[in-house]
Amino acid sequence: MEIFTSLQKYDYEQLLFCQDKNSGLKAIIAIHDTTLGPALGGTRMWTYKTEEDAIVDALRLAKGMTYKNAAAGLNLGGGKTVIIGDPKKDKNPEMFRAFGRYIQGLNGRYITAEDVGTTEIDMDLIHLETDFVTGTSSYSGASGNPSPITALGLYHGMKATAKEAFGTESLEGKSVAVQGVGNVAYHLCDFLHKEGADLIVTDINKESVKRAVDDFGARAVDPDEIYGVECDIYAPCALGATINDETLDKLKAKAVAGSANNQLMTTKHGDMLHERGIVYAPDYVINAGGVINVADELVGYNRERAMKKVEMVYDNVEKVFEISKRDNIPTHVAADRMAEERIQAVRNSRSQFLLNEKHILKFN
């Protein structure tokens, strides 16, 4: 892998390799863009087959965070960390403390949070070494479990999607097919049930399905059946890439709005949704409630203020639809354009400021 070629291709700023022999820490921090502010992005722990796979994942995820944070209206850039190892076997407190010291050494350029394979407890260990971490335990003044907040943002984004697809934001009587009923999706189902939506659910975990059936009167279907059920909205809340050649031919929903990351297998599948008139709420815009919430910790967490910001996912999803119609482009392209326009506007203003400073110095 030609590292600098990869960094230059998508204009990454920094790639750091962190190791601690005693604890077994092998971490890669990727910082994509800090135009809008310090890079914020979680720490993922995963059993990568090769070190190159870990680098590729860190870079991909960091770029995604730049776009997510920009689209969410946050004054934050994008970054991500991957730790190579099995989160069930290889964790130890010394590992996260050592990693915290590396973050501290960046002096606020990168701020981390929990992600796949890491927990609130891990963030507390990092916090022993640095303040540049979010998602720590609520007893320390942080926001605690992010799942209900991510679900709240998703719920408001789904209402904006319904308005675009059906002419009304009301979800009462709408049928929603929820793929995966994990922590975020369970809370989403609660919001939908209270509004009077009809729920269809599936999950490889039968206990999760049973809980949704018992608590919300949901109808359960097998995992392979969820794509072809008659429904108004398909909500992918588990694995990525569930919008693909095979599933698109089965899909009967008029809208797609869910919490899963990387829902499109490729960008062509976003084009295909657009061509078929299926309203798609891009994943990194609609699932941004969690990052909006933890970002509030950086200014002293206030739950009421954070909830108001999370509700603005509705407005962000609406903006994507407006750009899509304005420029006659698919919504996944519109979401990227919205993020890029915001980043470019800040770059332009910064460049103009530097030009003005240079002009003043010239004549003084």
The pair of three-digit structure tokens given for residue 88, joined into one six-digit string: 């069930």
Residue 364: pLDDT over 80: no
Q: What per-residue confidence (pLDDT) applies to 19?
A: 98
Tens-digit pLDDT profile for residues 22-42: 999 999 999 999 999 999 999
In sequence order, what are the residues at sequence separation of 6 or more whose Cβ sits closer than 8 angstroms to the Cβ of residue 208?
181, 182, 186
Residue in the block written with tokens 């295909």: 272
What pLDDT, on the 0 to 100 scale, is given for residue 351? 63
As a whole number of angstroms, the longest Cα–Cα distance in the chain is 75
Is 113 a residue whose pLDDT tops 70? yes
Give the span between the Cα atoms of 143 and 147, in whole angstroms. Answer: 11
pLDDT computed for residue 356 by the predictor: 56
Q: How far is it, in rounded angstroms, from Cα 345 to Cα 188? A: 34
pLDDT of residue 140: 67
- The pLDDT, as a whole number, for residue 145 is 74
Q: Tell me the per-residue pLDDT of 319-350, one tens digit each, with 9 for 90 and over.
A: 999 999 999 999 999 999 999 999 999 999 87
The arithmetic mean of pLDDT across residues 183-198, rounded, is 97
- Best CA proximity match to 288, nearest among 271, 266, 313: 313
> Residues 238, 297, 18, 107: what is their CA dihedral angle, to the nearest 10 degrees?
150
- Helix (H), strand (E), coil (C) string for 232-293: CEEEECCCCCCECHHHHCCCCCCEECCCCCCCECCHHHHHHHHHCCCEECCHHHHCCHHHHH
pLDDT tens digits along 220-257: 999 999 999 999 999 999 988 999 999 999 999 999 99
Catalytic positions = 80
Q: For the segment 99-109, what is each residue's pLDDT rounded down to a tens digit?
A: 999 999 999 99
Residue-level pLDDT at 111 = 98
| pLDDT of amino acid 261 | 87
pLDDT number for residue 143: 76
End-to-end Cα separation, the chain, in angstroms: 50
**Residue 307 pLDDT > 60:** yes
What pTM value is reported for the model? 0.88
pLDDT in tens, 267-291: 999 999 999 999 999 999 999 999 9
Taking only the tens place, the pLDDT of each residue in 75-88 is: 999 999 999 999 99
Output the average pLDDT for the chain.
94
User: How far apart are alpha carbons 43 and 37 in whole angstroms?
Assistant: 19
pLDDT above 90 coverage of the chain, percent = 87
Integer Cα distance of 77 and 63 in angstroms: 9
Residue 289 to residue 78: CA distance in whole angstroms: 16
